[in-house]
Amino acid sequence: MLSEAPIKLVDATAKYLRAPVEPRWYLAYGSNLSTSGFLVARHITPLAKKVVLAKGIELAFDHHGIPYVEPRFANIRFVRETVPEFDLEKEWTGRGALLGVAFLLTPQDFVQILKVEGAGTLYQPLEVQANVVSEYNRVLEETVDVYTLMTEERRTRPGQASLRYMSLIRNENKMPPSYIRYLESTPHFTPISTRQQWGLSVVRATWARFMFFFFRKMAQYADKDGNLPIWMKTTRATIHGCMWFAYDWFEKWVFGDGEVS
């Protein structure tokens, strides 16, 4: 029987989240599945890791990133359709549950990840009980309590993640073959036309520089509880909003679609 435990929205300022006294499981599902970018660059060595399946939440590419460069980032949404059983030998549909990797982290590393990822500023922490997936791609009754992050900053119209971003998700951590095939079949954004390629060059040289700067600096400026200074949150939100305003009202008319190939 798979876990039916409720999904809990966690107060990002709660002491038990910000000051854990024992190792915690952190569930990665997007670009944070990249070992080099997520763990090595942050000098974090997990105590253990497991491929897991979490019912009640699904993978969604609806977090608006940077047009032409990274149009969509991975996100979580609550399930729209209940699926009673999961057989990873069959084709994965993306519905009913989330597949990811749970990393067991020391208290210090867990807090560091929350700061880097923007818990409480960009993302809402969640606690969910997930079933472990065996090396033979079977969903076990063994469960772990994991913490993960989702954002309500969603783009409602269609958009695609880049090939680079999709490759980070599928190429590491020995995910089930059915899940890899699902990701390979998911359309990704590629600037095809000359206009789109010009748009990519312009955004890389302007907006993307500012946004990646803020992504890198969030952990540096966060306090011990992971909170960012008001000025930094305001500046980041302003730049992000201006970037998408410029795209909606100017760039997409000049350079073409920067969200869907």
- pLDDT tens for 141-195 read 999 999 999 988 787 788 999 988 888 888 877 899 999 999 999 999 999 999 9
Say if residue 147 carries a ligand binding annotation.
no
Q: b vs e for 179-203, b when ≥16 Cβ sit within 10 Å of the residue's Cβ?
A: beebbeeeebbebeeeebebbbeeb
Specify whether the CB–CB gap between 33 and 106 falls below 8 A: no
Say if residue 26 carries a ligand binding annotation.
yes
Q: What CA–CA distance (Å, rounded) separates 47 from 99?
A: 20
Question: DSSP character for 135?
Answer: T
Say if residue 165 carries a ligand binding annotation.
yes
Q: What CA–CA distance (Å, rounded) separates 240 from 216?
A: 15
The ranges assigned to domains in the chain are 8-189
Tell which residue, 123, 147, 106, 82, has the closest CA to residue 21: 106
Q: What CA–CA distance (Å, rounded) separates 202 from 246?
A: 12
Which helix (H) or strand (E) segment is 180 a member of?
Answer: helix 177-185
Are β-strands 57-66 and 70-78 bridged in parallel, bridged antiparallel, or unpaired? Answer: antiparallel
SS3 169: helix
Q: What CA–CA distance (Å, rounded) separates 45 from 152?
A: 30
Task: Report pTM.
Answer: 0.88
Say if residue 221 carries a ligand binding annotation.
no
Query: Looking at the predicted structure, is the pLDDT value of residue 206 above 70?
Result: yes
pLDDT attached to residue 66: 94
- CATH architecture assignment, domain 8-189: Roll (3.10)
Q: What CA–CA distance (Å, rounded) separates 68 from 80?
A: 29
Share of the chain above pLDDT 70, in %: 92
Q: Give yes or no: 117 in active site.
A: yes
Catalytic residue among 117, 127, 251, 259: 117
Q: What CA–CA distance (Å, rounded) separates 208 from 50?
A: 33
Query: Looking at the predicted structure, is the pLDDT value of residue 1 above 80?
Result: no
